[in-house]
Amino acid sequence: MNCPKCGAEIEEGSLYCGICGEDIHIVPDFESEVEQSMQATLEHIAEELQISGTAFSSGEAAGSETPQKKKSYLGWLIGIFFLLILVLAGVLIGAWHHMENSVEYQMARAVECVRTQDYEQAVSYYIRARELGNMDQEVGFALADCYYAMDNVGGYESQLLALIEGGLLDQKQLERAYSQLIQSYRARNDYQTIDSLLNNCDNEVIRSTYQNLQAKAPEFGFEEGYYQEILPLKLSSNTAGTIYYTMDGSEPDENSLVYTAPIFLDNGEHIIKAVFVNQYGLVSDVVTKNYQIELKIPVAPNVVTASGQYSSPTLIQVNREEDETVYYTTDGTVPSLDSARYAGPIPMPLGDSAFSFAIIEEDGIVGEVAERTYSLQLNTDISVDMATVTLYNEMIRTGRIQTPEGFAGESGIYQYRFQYPLTVGEEDYYIFAELHVDESGGSISTGSYYAVHAYNCICYKLLTDSGYSIAEIP
**Cβ proximity of 301 and 314 under 8 Å:** no
List Cα–Cα distances, 316 to 247, 306, 310, 328, 346, in angstroms: 43, 8, 12, 12, 5
Q: Where are the alpha helices (DSSP H) in 150-221?
A: 153-166, 171-187, 191-199, 204-209
Residue 334 host element (H or E) = none
| Predicted local confidence at residue 59, as pLDDT | 46
Compute φ and ψ for 4, nearest 5 degrees.
Answer: -70, -10
| Predicted local confidence at residue 38, as pLDDT | 46
What would you report as the CA-atom Rg of the chain, rounded to the nearest whole angstrom? Answer: 54
Q: What is the DSSP letter of 419?
A: E
Residue 441 host element (H or E) = none
Bridge partners of residue 431, in order along the sequence: 420, 451
Question: Count of CB atoms within 10 A of residue 291's CB?
Answer: 20
Q: What is the DSSP letter of 310?
A: E
Higher pLDDT: 472 or 67? It is 472
Averaged pLDDT for residues 125-151: 87
Counting every residue written for the chain, the total comes to 474
Residue among 207, 321, 225 at smallest CA distance from 265: 225
| Predicted local confidence at residue 27, as pLDDT | 40
Rounded CA separation 272/223 (Å)? 12
**Cβ proximity of 414 and 408 under 8 Å:** yes
Reading phi first (left if > 0) and then psi (alpha if -120 to 50, else beta), residue 221 is in alpha
Rounded CA separation 334/292 (Å)? 24
pTM for the predicted model, two decimal places: 0.47
Bridge partners of residue 271, in order along the sequence: 290
**Secondary structure of the chain: what % helix, strand, coil (to 5)?**
35, 25, 35
Rounded CA separation 437/164 (Å)? 79
Rounded CA separation 365/359 (Å)? 8
pLDDT digits (tens, 9 = 90+) for 413-433: 999 999 999 999 999 999 999
Averaged pLDDT for residues 408-416: 91
- Residue 33: pLDDT band (50, 70, 90) is very low
Rounded CA separation 274/222 (Å)? 14
pLDDT digits (tens, 9 = 90+) for 303-324: 999 999 999 999 999 999 988 9
Residue among 429, 430, 431, 399 at smallest CA distance from 414: 399
- Residue 18: pLDDT band (50, 70, 90) is low
Rounded CA separation 298/448 (Å)? 38
Rounded CA separation 298/360 (Å)? 8
The answer to whether the Cα torsion of 172, 173, 177, 180 is positive or negative is positive
Rounded CA separation 254/241 (Å)? 12
Averaged pLDDT for residues 175-182: 92
Compute φ and ψ for 468, nearest 5 degrees.
Answer: -115, 140
Q: What is the DSSP letter of 407?
A: B
| Predicted local confidence at residue 70, as pLDDT | 59
Question: Is the pLDDT at 173 greater than 70, yes or no?
Answer: yes
Compute φ and ψ for 231, nearest 5 degrees.
Answer: -100, 120
